[in-house]
Copies of this chain bind each other. A is one copy, B any other.
């Protein structure tokens, strides 16, 4: 028989999964504590019992999503590709596109939480500001490695390129989520790769 602590951890995890599904579908504000409990097959009071409040549950999810993004997007294998901008764009854009196909719920959730970060929730804002800084720094580091290997022009500003590139990947995902048949993903990722390579190659 599982211990009390193991049962409690399992209940927390079920509530987080239920909240992730509902926040991604409807957004944070349109989801009530009672909806989350019911979706997880638990009592109306379960969210408050395990997390203290809907906002504390949101912050647990933001931390989880930030960790997931870092694990998937700050891919350690990118480092092995770093000497070649072509290998880097193939690995990075390939991972992004695969995640978009396989985990559309995480992308939708990410966009809802980002709207929350732009709104009045300072804790969510801080979490996403820190994530964006780490992602830009990571892209900038990879560019720096490629530049040190002589594969990137000296006049490229790594932070500036990282900023618009992170934006372009998010913007492609957002257009795809709003209208899956509207944007030709092959053409968009392909042109993005050609533009990055045209800019960075010595």
Residues of A within 8 A of B (CB): 25-30, 108, 111-112, 114-120, 125, 128-129, 132-133, 136, 156-157, 159-161, 163-175, 177-179, 182-184, 186-192, 194-196, 198-199
With known contacts A156-B191, A191-B161, A183–B136 Cβ distance under 8 A: yes
With known contacts A136-B183, A182-B133, A170–B174 Cβ distance under 8 A: yes
Q: How far is the CB of A123 from chain B (nearest CB, A)?
A: 13
Q: How far is the CB of A80 from chain B (nearest CB, A)?
A: 24
Q: Which residue of B lies closest to A175 (CB)?
A: B132
With known contacts A190-B157, A198-B199, A163–B175 Cβ distance under 8 A: yes
A-B contact pairs, 13 of them (CB 8 A): A108-B119, A111-B114, A111-B115, A132-B182, A160-B192, A163-B183, A163-B184, A167-B173, A167-B188, A168-B171, A170-B171, A195-B195, A195-B198
Neighbour of A167 across the interface among B112, B168, B184, B187, CB < 8 A: B168
Identify 20 new A-B residue pairs, CB closer than 8 A, beyond the known A29-B30, A118-B174, A164-B191. A27-B29, A30-B119, A114-B174, A118-B177, A125-B179, A132-B175, A136-B183, A157-B187, A157-B191, A159-B184, A160-B187, A160-B189, A160-B191, A163-B184, A163-B188, A166-B175, A167-B188, A168-B168, A168-B171, A170-B171
Q: Which residue of B lies closest to A104 (CB)?
A: B118
Q: How far is the CB of A189 from chain B (nearest CB, A)?
A: 8
Neighbour of A178 across the interface among B114, B159, B187, B195, CB < 8 A: B114
Q: How far is the CB of A140 from chain B (nearest CB, A)?
A: 11
Best-surrounded residue of A120, A159, A163 (most CB of chain B within 10 A)? A163
